[in-house]
Structure 1
């Protein structure tokens, strides 16, 4: 019986690893897919990033409800619902490649929005609900399956590594399938990725259905909800940390997302890469996510000796320097970086050196979430759980800030849009230096 339980746990753990990877895969589809829609709407970066915006907007609506679902129906049912919703979202995005290309819905400034774009945005929004629920489920579920302690943390770190690896491969695969964005490029070109993702969700749904999952947080019938005299909003460092999470996710998505658009744009406004621009952009954006994996690994090795505050200060200041160099370096100063296409395989391409410094920011952004979260919940005690739901809502920043950045790039240029990133990084530096200090220690936090 014990052996059977261990085998069941192993299957569940492997499945959770796949789901951890799928979270990043589904999330990171939006930005490279945006290059297709940007071309569809005459180079509008703002419209190109709308899919990413819809994906993250779902967090605003689902952050707290997802936490409530864990309490009311448990991890297993929440995960199953999330996978069903994810399949629906991916299938809806696929439908945008089948019909609606000739049906006009409404005017957006100088652009006439077609039905297929609306369908795609709906699919991205549905996928956002999925990844929000999965984010809420996967971390605690892996911790439970590992029995907590060091083993539970080890499983979470392994899942995080797979999450980063998936984030690395996604823009690479999309870029390889697209190659160079032309007037004939459409969502049908990336349909294979959507089918793979849907297949993984179906397989995970079936496996999880037959695996027993511990449910220690499942609310007992008749249990009364505890009322607190204060809330996380009573703590200044937590409120500033909530803003920090909103800004951080915008930075994390905005840097590679805009870079991908910049490199895929063959016009004078973009990098001017005439052949395989989308493939090169996807491959270089993939390096950013790979460096996030490197940064997380390095951080886990030094976190026992180097505080979250010190790490946040150092990486925020370093990222500001990297982005400033990228902004002020002329476009004709180039460096050789790798690209990939289906026909030619891996190749070296000459790209503006700004791309190199923006990619290096992945080393910095990799440790920011953990640092901000740890500092923001320090000293919260019994209010920590409430704060976690608020932080999940603030992931919406990954949709809002990149959309603003693309709007800026439409009007004044790609590199100029990175001044928004500078301002956001400056806030995180302020938070690490000053804002993270708990000035509300008089509030009782123990039961």
Structure 2
């Protein structure tokens, strides 16, 4: 009987894994789109990153309502609503190409952000439940996370290949194939899940209202500092490769195709880091892992800020030859770019480490704390946008001061801020 259940859940499991990847695919589309927006609408780097900001601000708006929706509607209905919203958001972005409208694009990015927020709440517990919990459930989550990294790797690469050279005619219409893929996957997922019978992840019931639980969670200093750590972490994860993509194209003069594959390497290194982190996670504490990665990341970013961009290194990327055929080869990029790509190895394990440290000892406040975490994912839009403002004032290289300060904060949190100093608060 158990074997039969597993067979019945195979297709929904595959769909959930694909949705895990689509979260990264749609989210990471916003940053490389910046180089198109800055050209098509002749706007500053900060304005070009407004799509990324709109995508992540949706988390701040939808985080808590999404948690309420899960409680009232359940995971399957919430997932279907999230997918439907995702289709609408991507379609609005598609319409912005034909209408030549920057505002319509921003609306589409904002709506798509709603979808990504809801899907983030759904896919982890659903995969765990579909796997039967325990080691099997955790394994499915790890598979989903790995596919998430793969899609994050492919997104800037696909945009780079489709855009080719930046010209006055470069526009959103150049990346229509990416939008077609997104809408197609969402539509297929909606149909499959509609006809699938799925178990609902167990949600622990409590007599206390959500507002009371949220206020209770905020009484813990280590949680408050950890929530802000999530805010800056997502900003680091998104801003490091996102601004680098603009830097390479707009200032260094590297072709978008090469730049896209260079920045895709960042997400590939995150995949490697996650696999390594998963393999040593039962032997090395979250505190040590976060301490080491934030310290190393800060050193890498500091070097990227002070080394001259005239120092060039060769990195393997996908290129087009004289007849337009694609193939791998070596491309010269500033050493600063290589150092920033290596930050991907550091950011790969930070989310789990921060989450584990921040929710330790919260007891009954854990669910409410998770909702607050989801709200603060909006840092992935706010910090890169601040970077964009600094670019206009002081240049791309100095803009990474935002990333450096953020990594120093994470180091502080790992060493000092993560300590639970409120053990006297009842959590049962």
TM-score bracket for the superposition, by shorter chain length: over 0.9
Q: 1:324 to 1:219 in 2, by over 3 A?
A: closer
Q: Give a deviation string over 1:278-337, Cα, whole Å, max 9, x none.
A: 111110110000000111111111111110000101001100110111111111100112
Once the two structures are superposed, the pairs formed by residues 256-405 of structure 1 within 5 Å of their partners are: 256-265=241-250, 270-273=251-254, 277-341=255-319, 343-345=324-326, 346-405=328-387
Q: Secondary structure at the match of 2:9?
A: helix
- Is contact 1:73–1:218 with CA below 8 Å preserved after alignment? no
C-alpha distance in 2 between matches for 1:2 and 1:243: 42
How far 1:124 sits from its partner (Å)? 0.2
- Is contact 2:164–2:256 with CA below 8 Å preserved after alignment? yes
- Is contact 2:75–2:201 with CA below 8 Å preserved after alignment? no
Match of 1:432 in 2: 414
Match of 1:108 in 2: none
C-alpha distance in 1 between matches for 2:42 and 2:271: 35
Q: TM-score of the superposition, structure 1-length normalised?
A: 0.92
C-alpha distance in 2 between matches for 1:272 and 1:59: 34
C-alpha distance in 2 between matches for 1:398 and 1:134: 16
Q: Give a deviation string over 1:217-256, Cα, whole Å, max 9, x none.
A: 4799xx9555758611000000000110001000110100
- Is contact 1:264–1:271 with CA below 8 Å preserved after alignment? yes
C-alpha distance in 2 between matches for 1:378 and 1:387: 11
Q: Does 1:149 align with 2:134?
A: yes
C-alpha distance in 2 between matches for 1:303 and 1:341: 37
How far 1:40 sits from its partner (Å)? 2.5
Match of 1:45 in 2: 45
Once the two structures are superposed, the pairs formed by residues 11-410 of structure 1 within 5 Å of their partners are: 11-42=11-42, 44-99=44-99, 101=100, 116-217=101-202, 225=208, 231-265=216-250, 270-273=251-254, 277-341=255-319, 343-345=324-326, 346-410=328-392
C-alpha distance in 2 between matches for 1:390 and 1:206: 31
How far 1:261 sits from its partner (Å)? 0.3
Unmatched 5+ stretches in structure 2 = none
Q: Give a deviation string over 1:367-409, Cα, whole Å, max 9, x none.
A: 1111111000001011010000000000000000000001101
Match of 1:104 in 2: none
C-alpha distance in 1 between matches for 2:405 and 2:204: 43
Q: Secondary structure at the match of 1:371?
A: helix
Q: Give a deviation string over 1:332-371, Cα, whole Å, max 9, x none.
A: 1001123335624133211101000000000001111111
Q: Give a deviation string over 1:33-74, Cα, whole Å, max 9, x none.
A: 111001134361011100000000000011111111111111
C-alpha distance in 1 between matches for 2:425 and 2:148: 37
Q: Secondary structure at the match of 1:440?
A: coil
Unmatched 5+ stretches in structure 1 = 102-115
Q: 1:328 to 1:344 in 2, by over 3 A?
A: farther
Moved more, 148-157 or 40-49: 40-49
- Is contact 2:125–2:201 with CA below 8 Å preserved after alignment? no
Q: 1:219 to 1:379 in 2, by over 3 A?
A: closer
Q: TM-score of the superposition, structure 2-length normalised?
A: 0.95
C-alpha distance in 1 between matches for 2:223 and 2:149: 27
Say how many residue pairs are matched. Answer: 422
- Is contact 1:30–1:52 with CA below 8 Å preserved after alignment? yes
C-alpha distance in 2 between matches for 1:191 and 1:424: 35
Q: Secondary structure at the match of 1:96?
A: helix
